[in-house]
Structure 1
């Protein structure tokens, strides 16, 4: 059991570092700010500190709750989770003094009795998780492809309930069981997040866009929506546009003479998808034509000629849109013709 938990703790630490690097340096997300990066950093550092405490414990070290570093990380994690969720999904929401109440878990550090402070901490943490769950669940009408993510979010919520129950039961059970379950729950959360991001690389960007549309004010009140849609379709029919590997929300919006928020709302509300998905669909449509029209062209060449940066991203996008691999699509349509 300890060997498995050791592996989970090590996995979590490596994945946390990779997720931080990916979020800070590579993910292009509308509204990503210093605040979201800072809260993400604090959250991941807290989770790493917790897993390091578990790692030391499973190799003969002190009980994690007896160390100051573990306690600080444990009591900081819920607040950083809340603020990251808020600043990542609702970057344009104004600051309200009531938000400072989200720092209350940190104040629980001042309570010396763990049998009092821990149940309160886990109850507040569960409340934050329910808040985020309610926020994300409210986006179900914005995105049909979020069904997969809703399922995994439900699994993560089940783990959160389990941790909450153990937090209340901690004074009455062997602490080793709490540490094992908590370590494995953190590892499971990281694994679920990695799987979700592999299946849907633009998940966070799409969630942010959908949240801004669902909970924000419309930016298209005085715009010629039909005219913008026609211009967008004409623009995306130009190979020079969709073949551009560095195509971004801001550059495409500039071509249309509107803001990035307006373009995001236009694509989301009128086409029912995020801009990354829309661009992928345009590129896949062009790739489908090339696969049939140029049977001697390699699949890699087709992918690169239609704006994909690598064969892996091309295969993933093609399978996501068509349900087939590029090779299977070419074979099926060659037989049909």
Structure 2
């Protein structure tokens, strides 16, 4: 290996290693860790495994076949992780939708099944001719789906009067670089004689990693929100009468339609129920009601939970939490304490004491 290759190997290997460290950070250690940061960590992990495999195989083609199997398997998760990250950021999701769980489960099941029943070392032709085609097909579909999710941001780039905010630029950068990496590997797959494009993905990934680390260190106090929190889309102010009509319609949908009981309710779905864009609903909640989407929905859920508790509903407190739209006991208790400044159990006991005191009188 000549000096030039040593340098390329060092850059690619260091990029893959740093990617794993960043994946761990985003998934488990970030101060503002949420659903979008978790999926960003998953994206970094999948890319790192794929890039790591590319680095090792490019410089030593005699490595055990398990490295190729791991790399191809990780490649199956890159597209989905990118889509889930962008979608959870744009729609401000706080919980994993059921459809995503099915998709993730199916992908992981396919990886385990192929890895156990049809190992690369035993069935190399199966992986080279068919499995890789399925992997690239899945990657392509999710790349397209991710592009659809952020198509509005690309459209706004052409508008000189409607500049993108930092978080939106960050989402576009992540998507664009992933497309570049995808194209480099796809070109290498279609034109097998061009090895440089195969390793090009590793170089691109490494350079982007260094840029991400620099931004995080340079903007240590604020950069974190660029990774996981979508910026609001600037929209024009609406008149007070329109705001009141929208608020009234929104309340009717929440109460009469019981939308808050849907544990997978998203900002986009709620906006669609009152026929306005998601960014306009976000502005309405933040500017006119002083609440974000999660707080707004949780208030309805907690009020319904309090009503059920006051009526002596036979459900357990945990079951009531699920009934009003929470996905877990912990999120129910956390939201209840935040809104009512007490726990559900203490609230129930306090109601019982008041009832007993009124009977004594």
TM-score, length-scaled by structure 2? 0.47
Q: Which has the larger radius of gyration?
A: 2
TM-score, length-scaled by structure 1? 0.50
